[in-house]
Structure 1
Amino acid sequence: MIKSDYLPSGFLQPLQDYLRQRALPAQDLLHELDACLESPNVPSERFCELLDAVWHAAPVSALGIRLGLATHPGQFGVVGYLVSYCGTLGQALARYYRYQRLLQQGLDSRGELKDGVLYMRWTQAVAKTPLATEFSIAVFVSLCQALIGRAITPVRAGLPFARPANADVYQALLGCPVEFDRPAIELAIPEYLLALPISGKDPYLLGLLEKQAQALLNQLPQLDTSAAGASFQRVQDQIVESMKNGDVSAAAVASALNYSLRTFYRELRSAGYSYRGLLAHTRHTLARQYLADPALAQTDVALLLGYSEQSSFIRAFRSWTGMTPGEYRSHLARKAGQVTG
């Protein structure tokens, strides 16, 4: 059991900004925040104490949500910079899960794709006060929004404490229904967001930061990682490779990764993924890239994605985007015309 834990000290910056912007009489607290910000990490228990102290200086509803939404990726330490250089939000979240222990060693999070929705839930071994859990869910929403450069509307959220009298404030701030008394922090977002691009994509810097993150992760005490399962990126890469052979069945991908089909499914479930969801995400991402290339016929795109029939590709693409492939290309042409005009 983890009795002590640490967070990136950058998470204290919104607390300091909040006090200063409101000119609150809290000089001693500001000095404490200054001192903590000089170190790369802050003990989770100390973070909770400082968060509580800010609330006492300005006791407003859902303060943790307000402060968490004011964060940016740079305050996540190496993990924040790493995910900022990924290609899509889905790739960024895969790395978030892989390196989450660099944010909090006692952070345990899971994700599951189901019926077009990514359901996430996590617990924090130490930073589990109501204010800290509020902050945690808002920080995650803020990270996703910053990466794709647009506001997101979650499907629902859940918090592990009793429903407060002013519960409507939480829904207004997060933009979705919020449930209380949940067993963990919970957030559900539409699956299509995973395919959205990240403007700061940089494969070279991503590679460098992954090496740094892995080196830092190796320095942490080892936990049982059997539940981590097959990594999102490794399976996705193999799906792309299998498309060349025209066989993207789970059996073919599992065999190429040296898994039995039963073990493959079990490890994907343990990591919070489904093969159907990963395949759809990969096809959706590639379809948008291929359709943006006028040299590729629509039939060629369907074959490149491993569809034996074009009608199956059209149905799938409409389910992802609400448009047929032809309508999507017309949409791209109109946008290009507006830019050049």
Structure 2
Amino acid sequence: MRERELLAPALLDELDQYLQSPTVPAYKFCELIAAVREQNPVSALGIRLGLATQPNDFGVVGYMVSYCGTLGQALARYHRYHRLLQRGLVSRTELKDGVLHMRWRQAVANTPLACEFSLAAFVSLCQALIGRAVTPIRAGLPFPKPDDLGIYQALLGCSVDFDCDDIELAIPAHLLALPISSKDPYLLRLLEQQAKVLLNQLPQMEDAQAGASFHRVQEQILESMKNGDVSAVAVASALDCSVRTFYRQLRSAGYSYRGLLAHTRHTLARQYLADPALAQTDVALLLGYSEQSSFIRAFRSWTGMTPGEYRSHLQHKTGNLG
């Protein structure tokens, strides 16, 4: 923002405050990056910001992978300790026919901007580690295809698919054997010990338990929408627990209530808007919004387009909506 001389002193002060903190809540990151786009509405802003990251922006994980011997060793440790970067992050990899396929999803930081940033930041990390450009074979993002698709492809250097289930990235497998010039076995051992300690300090919860907690709260959110009150107080009360306990349980599972509510509304909104029998005002009410303007603002933050524009996108894509 300073580089582009964007005049938003209140936002700059808030950013400065968070830059002094070792961590930023995922939902707050989504809010901040959306606020930056309002000041600087350029295409693929998340991609641009992600490509500007450096390994030290990843904290102890970034320093640790910088001291590995090869990119393959670095990515293996990245996968092992990624919970230190973001709670609720679930990833998987597959090596097939000379290509490394990576997929990941973010339970909280799941807005289009945050997904763009995550994808590009990972590409930037790989490039910084091996000291050369990494040209992906393909990439995928979990939101509708934007009008300015060419910018995404130009910035990432590969084809980009949209409406994917996860964030996706495929790179040539031969890159895994490339050396990292900053290799240091001694510092790697020290930092991996530190990472293990930090990982053990995180609240432990098995994926099955986390999934059960997610679905239990999501089901109650759906019930609460019928009553028009989806506040944390109302949902916690319906689940027969205090708000403090409710928040603590969600944090242990890697979620925030705000992020989970937004995820649920976003998923339902796309389903409802695909039904031509539902007016936009009906969709807003079904999602528990008292004002349509609040729904429009929220939907734009999730998808980068208004509900009306999204319906037009569906109409163009399927030819079924009126």
Fold conserved (TM > 0.5)? yes
Q: For 1:223 and 1:115, how far apart are their aligned partners in 2?
A: 35
Aligned position for 2:22: 40
Instruction: Specify which of 20, 23, 44 is matched with residue 62 of structure 1.
Output: 44
Distance 1:72 1:202 in 2: 18
Do structure 1's residue 147 and structure 2's residue 129 form an aligned pair? yes
Partners of 2:61 and 2:144 lie apart in 1 by 31
Q: Please, which of 160, 173, 178 is the counterpart of residue 196 of structure 1?
A: 178
- Give the corresponding residue for 2:111: 129
1:21 paired with 2:21, answer no
Which residue does 2:140 correspond to in 1?
158
Larger radius of gyration: 1
Q: What is the deviation of 1:44? A: 0.6
Question: Structure 2 CA distance, aligned partners of 1:94 and 1:86?
Answer: 10
Give the match's secondary structure for 2:24: strand
Counterparts of 1:75 and 1:31 in 2: how far apart (Å)? 20
Structure 1 residue runs of 4 or more that deviate by more than 3 Å after TM superposition? none
Map residues 303-322 of structure 1 onto 2, 5 A cutoff: none
- The CA distance in 2 between the partners of 1:52 and 1:154, in whole Å, is 26
1:187 aligns with 169
Question: 2-side partners of 1:161 and 1:225: how far apart?
Answer: 25
Question: How far off its partner does 1:27 sit?
Answer: 1.3
- The answer to whether residue 58 in structure 2 is matched with residue 76 in structure 1 is yes
Aligned pair 1:172/2:154, yes or no?
yes
Deviation at 1:225?
Answer: 7.0
> Match of 1:208, as an amino acid?
L
Which residues in structure 2 correspond to 1:1-341 (within 5 Å)?
A: 19-224=1-206
Question: Aligned equivalents of 1:125 and 1:196: distance in 2?
Answer: 32
Higher normalized contact order (CA 8 Å, seq sep 6+, divided by chain length): 2
Aligned residues: 208
Instruction: Provide the TM-score with structure 1 as the length reference.
Output: 0.60
Give the residue type in structure 1 aligned to 2:64.
Answer: L
Query: Are residues 55 and 155 of structure 1, via their aligned partners in 2, closer, same or farther at CA, if it must alter by over 3 Å?
Result: same
CA-CA distance at 1:105 after TM superposition: 1.5
Partner of 2:216: none
Give the letter aligned to residue 43 of structure 1.
P
Alignment deviations for residues 259-303 of structure 1 (CA, whole Å, 9 cap, x no partner): xxxxxxxxxxxxxxxxxxxxxxxxxxxxxxxxxxxxxxxxxxxxx
Q: CA deviation at 1:130?
A: 0.3
SS in 1 for 2:48: helix
SS of equivalent to 1:30: helix
Measured against aligned partners, the alpha-carbon deviations of 1:12-48 in whole angstroms (never above 9, x if no partner) come to xxxxxxx011111111111001001111001111100
Amino acid at match of 1:125: A
* Offset at residue 223 of structure 1 (A): 3.1
Question: What TM-score do you get using the length of structure 2 for normalisation?
Answer: 0.64
| 1:191-217 C-alpha deviation (Å, 9 max, x unpaired) | 000000000000000000000000000
Structure 2 letter corresponding to 1:162: P
Q: Name structure 1 gaps, 5 residues minimum.
A: 1-18, 227-341
Q: Aligned with 2:2: secondary structure?
A: helix
Counterpart of 1:59, as a letter, is P
Q: Partner of 2:94: helix, strand, or coil?
A: strand
The equivalent residue for 2:255 is: none
Cα distance between partner residues in 2 of 1:151 and 1:27: 36
Matches of 2:207 and 2:177 in 1, distance apart? 27
Could you tell me how far apart the structure 2 residues matched to 1:46 and 1:222 are?
A: 23
One-letter identity of the residue aligned with 2:188: L
Question: Matched residue of 1:21: which SS?
Answer: coil
| Post-superposition offset of 1:224 | 2.6
Match of 1:223, SS? Answer: coil
